[in-house]
A = this chain, B = another copy of it.
Amino acid sequence: MTIEAPSRRRAIEDAASGLFHERGYAATSVREIARVLDIQGASLYAHVSSKEDVLWSIVDRAASAFEAAADRGKAAAEGRPPAERLSALVRGHVEVIAADPRLASVFLSEWRHLSAGRRAGILERRDAYEAPFRDVIADGMATGDFTPTDPALAATFILNALNGLAAWYRADGRLTAGRIADHYSDLAVRTLTEDHR
């Protein structure tokens, strides 16, 4: 049975993100993707133009999800103290990962297999995405809410900590996404607050 194009395309991307997440893009063959969908490898090409095209759709969708979360986080915490603004960004980031760890992990780990142009585009978007993290840290340092440190390095430290989640999060794991978000936002904010005992 032939399935309508848009949902079939999406089903291909879902099967692919599962495999790319588990084995990596380069170690996954188009025939393995097709096998998940119970069709022939060559039949995939009725819906996608290349293997890289599938990777690109996944990566682009993940990037958009992170961007949208950051926009919501910024809007929700606008005018609030730096710690709350950082917390909102961290929560948004964790939620995107927990909502679809395979999508996030492909975005975070497999973008290097994109063509040069797309790779450069993703790197730019990642940098733009990270800017508000750096900015809120710098703001917090300026207001005295945060300990003086290197804002770019602190942002990288925090984002790397959060991104690790994509590799190990399981929806049926010990901790719910909400609890992880609570803990992670506490850990992230504390990273920047001096111990005054």
Contact = CB atoms under 8 A, between A and B. Distances in A.
A80 to B, nearest CB: 16
B157 A175 contact: no
Contacts of A113: 24, 27
A191 B157 CA distance: 11
B149 A112 contact: no
Given A26-B27, A164-B156, A149 B187 contact: yes
Secondary structure call for the A interface: helix
A109 B156 CA distance: 18
A193 B196 CA distance: 9
Interface in A150-183: 150, 153-154, 156-165, 168, 175, 180, 183
A166 to B, nearest CB: 10
A112 B23 contact: yes
A122 to B, nearest CB: 14
17 contacts: A23-B26, A26-B26, A149-B183, A149-B186, A150-B175, A153-B183, A154-B183, A158-B161, A160-B160, A160-B161, A164-B164, A190-B190, A190-B191, A190-B194, A191-B191, A193-B195, A196-B197
Given A187-B191, A190-B194, 18 more contacts: A23-B112, A24-B26, A25-B27, A149-B183, A149-B187, A153-B175, A154-B183, A157-B161, A157-B187, A158-B161, A159-B164, A160-B162, A161-B161, A190-B190, A191-B191, A194-B195, A195-B195, A195-B196
